[in-house]
Structure 1
Amino acid sequence: MAIYGFDVFSPREIAERIENVGVTKARLPLLQMALLGVLAGAFIGLGAMYFVLVISDQSLGFASSRLLGGVVFSLGLLLVVVAGAELFTGNNLLAMAWADRRITTWELVRNWLVVCLANFVGAVGLAMLVGLSGYPNLNGGAVGEQVVQLAIAKCSTPAVILFWKGLLCNVLVCMAVWMAMAGRSVIDKLVAVVFPVSAFVAAGFEHSVANMYLIPQAMFLKAAMPPGIPYLDALSWGGLFANLGPVIAGNLVGGSVLVALVYHLIYRRG
């Protein structure tokens, strides 16, 4: 329907579309769900790769590097939304279909588990390929050093802070997906995605799937780093999962409770 002169779906129509899509996603065949999940992990990794390239340029000021880095990071979610893929953080919106009893608890949990694991495979696989390509050597090795510094910070942050950063991140990610569902064209979706995604990246919030790319890539680069870097030992599988645990929990609460269930109460309940 046309609203205020724009050819977009209304919020009530978006809620219905999100719920219908959630039913379809929850009932995808296992192989299709897993492969689409691998693609989403790689897509978000590509966005993270683009982000690191920008912020490794020391000639940029803090605000400009974070803003520009956030804009280019939006590539990841735009690929997911337009090209089609299954992203764990975006699929937290399936909670709407679950709250309306259109999918079962098992279908909800199955989707989240399969997609999260598949995202991990796609993100880590891309991290390995990008490392082999020589990408970390760009800008005199500053790109690789930036990956390591980012990952060390993520692995050294207290769990409670990671949780809240994960929560705020996925509120913005799910709002980006929500608004993208309002649009009818690729340009509509681009505009809807860029602002929320660039906001969470610029603010330094935590996206679990992006971390599945950045931290493993830093682990691969660890041996090539010069000695004396503080907290370099934090880059380990233990450090990775210590980060992912609270971040995934925060992403879940932010996306499924503060976005999906709130909009369910507003537009779909009863």
Structure 2
Amino acid sequence: MSFVKPAKVVDIMVETGAAKANLSPFQMVIRSVLGGAILAFATTLAFTAVHQTSIGLAGALLFPAGFAMIVLLGLELVTGSFALIPLAVIRRQTTFGRMLAGFGWAIAGHLIGCGLYAALYLLTITNFGHNLEAPLAKTLIALSEAKTLGYKELGTDGMLLVIVKAILCNWMVTLGVVMSFTSKSTAGKIAAMWLPILTFFAQGFEHAVVNMFVIPAGMMLGADVTFADWWEWNQLPVLIGNFIGGALFTGILLYMSHKKLLPAREEIAAAGVTVKEPVIPAVNGGKSL
């Protein structure tokens, strides 16, 4: 059978988190560059589908294609790692410092990959700058301003709103990563991870890596957004919210729901603790009932 039981999935989560945390900076950056670029490809695919059909759900149905590519190729998506590496820290298979370093290198790689794709993509939709009125260019400008200035106008409420939307987003995104572990077949993995990714994208929640493409692309096209607006009113709070959603609502809660609270007998024995067998009193004078 290709189905993997939830308890085993939790073990895979820990093992995968440890493997990611122990990657070299070079490997982490390269995987993150590719992961960021592929997710940006999927984002523009979704925007194109919406533009051509005028149906918002069309974009949500197609966007998971990029996520599936990233997972199947073993590339890096820092938002997914938010649910995995903290578990490896809890199980002492990596360190807190390695976790933070891994996140930092991944974010740097995503910025490079998203920025590279943004520059190349904008050249195509504007005919090398000769048509700045292209519909998709206007879409990117509007989204860039809405994802920053829209929250800024609301002040404190805007800051809380963007964090909540980021929590909800990565609750589903990390669930997509975990769902890919529930099957041993390629088709099963794709089908399983497609469901939560569609769920997040269709509702307009905030994803840090998607925004590393959308907001800079809008800024390149002339959106009225400053670098400070981008990081203060979107990128930093979204990263915080994505971490909470992934680490707590997916990683830790799934871990707690499927792992035994008491250590296994083998782990107790390895710790040098003697476990006595329980004494069961005889029933009916020791005779079988």
Using the size of structure 2 for normalisation, the TM-score is: 0.82
Q: How does 1:80-99 map to 2 (within 5 A)?
A: 80-93=70-83, 94-99=85-90
Contact 1:12/1:267 (8 A) holds in 2: yes
Q: How does 1:223-262 map to 2 (within 5 A)?
A: 232-233=223-224, 235-242=225-232, 243-262=234-253
1:36 to 25, 28, 31: 31
Please tell me whether residue 109 in structure 1 is matched to residue 100 in structure 2.
Answer: yes
Residue of structure 1 equivalent to 2:111: 120
Letter in 2 for 1:218: G
Measure, in 1, the Cα distance between the counterparts of 2:124 and 2:87: 41
Secondary structure of residue in 2 paired with 1:28? coil
Contact 1:23/1:102 (8 A) holds in 2: yes
Shift of 1:169: 0.3
Contact 2:14/2:87 (8 A) holds in 1: yes
Q: In angstroms, what is the RMSD of aligned CA positions?
A: 1.7
1:148-194 deviation per Cα after TM superposition (whole angstroms, max 9, x unaligned): 11111111222211100000000000101100111122211221122
Contact 2:32/2:107 (8 A) holds in 1: yes
Shift of 1:135: 6.0
1:54-78 deviation per Cα after TM superposition (whole angstroms, max 9, x unaligned): 2224x52xxxx22211121112211
Contact 1:37/1:122 (8 A) holds in 2: yes
Measure, in 2, the Cα distance between the counterparts of 1:78 and 1:135: 29
Letter in 2 for 1:96: L
In our comparison, the structure showing a higher alpha carbon Rg is: 2
Please tell me whether residue 11 in structure 1 is matched to residue 2 in structure 2.
Answer: no
Measure, in 2, the Cα distance between the counterparts of 1:258 and 1:220: 35
Secondary structure of residue in 2 paired with 1:89? helix
Please tell me whether residue 211 in structure 1 is matched to residue 211 in structure 2.
Answer: yes
Using the size of structure 1 for normalisation, the TM-score is: 0.87
Contact 1:170/1:255 (8 A) holds in 2: yes
2:62 to 72, 75, 79: 72
Letter in 2 for 1:134: I
Using a 3 Å threshold, how does the CA distance of structure 1 residues 202 and 135 change in structure 2: closer, same or farther? farther
Residue of structure 2 equivalent to 1:225: none
Q: How does 1:151-230 map to 2 (within 5 A)?
A: 151-155=144-148, 156-157=150-151, 158-222=158-222
1:3-30 deviation per Cα after TM superposition (whole angstroms, max 9, x unaligned): xxxx210111111111111111111111
Letter in 2 for 1:142: P
Residue of structure 2 equivalent to 1:227: none
Measure, in 1, the Cα distance between the counterparts of 2:109 and 2:29: 5
Measure, in 1, the Cα distance between the counterparts of 2:40 and 2:256: 34
Stretches of structure 1 lacking an aligned partner (at least 5 in a row)? 223-231
1:80-122 deviation per Cα after TM superposition (whole angstroms, max 9, x unaligned): 1012211110011211111112111111111111111211111
Letter in 2 for 1:72: L
Residue of structure 1 equivalent to 2:280: none
Q: Percent identity?
A: 25
Shift of 1:144: 1.1
Shift of 1:249: 0.5
The number of residue pairs the alignment matches comes to: 249
Of structures 1 and 2, the one with the larger relative CO (CA 8 A, separation 6+) is: 1
Letter in 2 for 1:92: F
Measure, in 2, the Cα distance between the counterparts of 1:75 and 1:46: 10
Residue of structure 1 equivalent to 2:136: 143
Using a 3 Å threshold, how does the CA distance of structure 1 residues 189 and 135 change in structure 2: closer, same or farther? farther
Secondary structure of residue in 1 paired with 2:147? helix
Contact 1:163/1:246 (8 A) holds in 2: yes
Contact 2:125/2:137 (8 A) holds in 1: no
Contact 2:163/2:238 (8 A) holds in 1: yes
Contact 2:125/2:136 (8 A) holds in 1: no
Please tell me whether residue 46 in structure 1 is matched to residue 56 in structure 2.
Answer: no
Residue of structure 2 equivalent to 1:226: none
